[in-house]
Structure 1
Amino acid sequence: MTKPYISGHALDARIPVESGIRAVDHLEVPREYAVALVMAMEGEEAAVGAGLAVAGDVSLRFIGPGEWLALSQSETPEELHRNLSLLLADNAYIVDQSDGRVVLRLSGPNVRRILAKGIGIDLHPAVFEIGASSNVLCGHISINLSRTGENEFELIVMRSFAESLFDDLRLMGREFDLSVDFSAQG
């Protein structure tokens, strides 16, 4: 059984409890997210990739050859770990990262302009398509960036860098009146 070491969210001190007016450009922070690191055993990348393709209500983020982050808002960390372990059997190592990673969702018509202030990759829709993900630097912070919708991106960061990334994103979005709150769905 997994027992969380940290009971509060990394950004509790930064985000107001009462949500304000939501602007067209918005930074949303889900309070709870099950995150697991999936690492294929040597020679098992294809089998693990095929298994993850049928994983159900799990979003996948490619982070390197034979490595993915699996995310779920409908499962607890324990359920996600158990289900992935059963699905991938002896083909992969599964490591719970739920307490060690923070997910931030950035959306709005100016999202690419906001991200361009700190990220050095081409975010044009023809190049960085919906479903694409990449490990990048946002300023000086290593993140996994994924395009999840037309004008929507998810940033996954190690918990210890969450406050710094959050502050950087607020500064990057200040020109566009970026609003911030915790997600209503979790």
Structure 2
Amino acid sequence: MIRDYYNRHALDEKLRGAPRPAGVNHLAIGHRQAVAMVLAQAGEEDTVQRALSSATEFAVRFSAPGEWLVVSENDTPEGLQRRLEALCTGRAYIVDQSEARVLFRLSGPSTHRILAKGVGLDLHPAAFAPGSSANALCGHVAVNLARTGDDTFELIAPRSFAESLFDDLMAMGREYDLTAAFAG
């Protein structure tokens, strides 16, 4: 069977049907965001980091030394790549990851307890403040985890593991009545 993955989201089958109203604890799945990986050239890490942190129109997630994931809700993948290339002016390699990654946005008062079931990081605000990000395992899936608010986290996972991560998050949030839907 041949599948055209570019026209179908990795979680279409899981989230098919009428959207349910969001509960207090909710998992919103990104549907049309642009994601790019920025890899600084040797010796240019500080310059690229300053350039990325000066921009306010997209979110920057630390991934590794000299490597960041950039997420934009407003740009197309091509538009984000052009913006980043102009911003980094030849000091970094820009790789589009929009079709290769899935963004999960977990929000609600029980997010810490839900994530504590599968993430081995200290998520207390003193240790992992809003704006922080790190690579971690959520269950058995490697994710980039970012805290975007007091009770809001974003997980960026490889597309090939999206269904497994979705199932794990829904199981971890079952006792907290976690709901899920595509982001609006």
Give the counterpart letter for 1:34 in structure 2. A
Which residue is equivalent to 1:148? 148
Which residue is equivalent to 2:51? 51
Q: Is 1:21 paired with 2:14? A: no
Q: 1:168, CA displacement in angstroms?
A: 0.3
Q: Verify the 8 A CA contact 1:55 1:84 in the aligned structure 2.
A: no
Q: 1:21, CA displacement in angstroms?
A: 2.6
Q: 1:30, CA displacement in angstroms?
A: 1.6
Q: Distance in 1 between matches of 2:82 and 2:90?
A: 13
Q: 1:22, CA displacement in angstroms?
A: 1.7
Unaligned runs of 5+ in 1: none
Give the counterpart letter for 2:47 in structure 1. A
- Normalising by structure 1, we get a TM-score of 0.95
Which residue is equivalent to 1:76? 76
Runs of 4+ aligned structure 1 residues displaced above 4 Å come to none
Q: 1:24, CA displacement in angstroms?
A: 0.5
Give the counterpart letter for 2:85 in structure 1. S
Give the counterpart letter for 2:112 in structure 1. R
Q: Please give the residue correspondences for 1:35-46 in structure 2 after superposition, counting only pairs within 5 Å.
A: 35-46=35-46
Comparing 135-144 with 52-61, which one deviates more in the overlay?
Answer: 52-61
Q: 1:16, CA displacement in angstroms?
A: 3.1
Unaligned runs of 5+ in 2: none
Q: 1:55, CA displacement in angstroms?
A: 2.5
- Normalising by structure 2, we get a TM-score of 0.96
Change beyond 3 A, Cα 1:59–1:91: same
Q: Secondary structure, in 3 states, of the residue corresponding to 1:6?
A: helix
Which residue is equivalent to 2:165? 165
